[in-house]
Amino acid sequence: MNIDSIKNGIVIDHIEAKKGMEIYEALKLKDLDCSVAIITNAKSKKMGRKDIIKIDKDVEINMNVIGFIEPNATINIVKDDKLVNKYKVELPEKIVNIAKCQNPRCITSIEKDLDQIFTLTDKENQIYRCKYCEMSLK
C-alpha cells in the first residue's frame, strides 16, 4: 500500500495499533480543512504493529491528548518535504477536558460547566485521579 508523503504538515508516529482512531477523534481532526490519513496496523520493527496519522497541514494540536492516549508516540514536523523537527510525546502531569469523571457523585456531574481536571498520580501505571473527587481514571 502506498500513502503519499506530505509536503508540509505533521506525522504522528509510533501509535499503538488500534489507537489511531481514538487520537483522530480526540483531536477532532475531522474538522480540519486538509487531508488527514490514518494508517492502521502498519508493520513496525520496533512495535510489531502500529498506527500512523498524517496531517497535510501545519496545524496546532493538543499534545496532552496524544500524551494521554499514547505516551510513546512521536511527532514529526515536515516542511518543504523535509523532516525539520522530531520529538517524543510525554505523559502529561495534568489533563483538562480530555476525559470525563465516571463518578456520578462528582461535582463535575452536577456542574456541567466545570472543567474535567485529572492529575497524574502514578506515572508508572499511568493512573490519573479527578481533581474534585479523587476517582481514578484507569
In CATH, what number is assigned to the domain containing residue 20?
A: 3.30.70.140
Pair 19, 82 in one domain: yes
pLDDT tens digits for range 87-122: 999 999 999 999 999 999 999 988 989 999 999 999
Pair 124, 83 in one domain: no
**pTM for this prediction:** 0.86
Domain count, the chain: 2
Pair 19, 64 in one domain: yes
Pair 14, 80 in one domain: yes
Pair 16, 66 in one domain: yes
What was the pLDDT predicted at 106? 94
Domain that holds residue 123: 94-130
3-class secondary structure for the chain?
Answer: CCCCCCCCEEEEEEEECCCHHHHHHHCCHHHCCCCEEEEEEEEECCCEEEEEEEECCCCCCCHHHHHHHCCCCEEEEEECCEEEEEEECCCCCEEECCCCCCCCCCHHHHCCCCCCEEEEEECCCCEEEECCCCCECC
In this prediction, the residues of the chain whose per-residue pLDDT falls under 50 are: none
**By the 8 A CB rule, do 47 and 41 touch?**
no
What was the pLDDT predicted at 2? 54
Pair 115, 76 in one domain: no
Pair 65, 84 in one domain: yes
Q: For residue 136, is it within any domain?
A: no
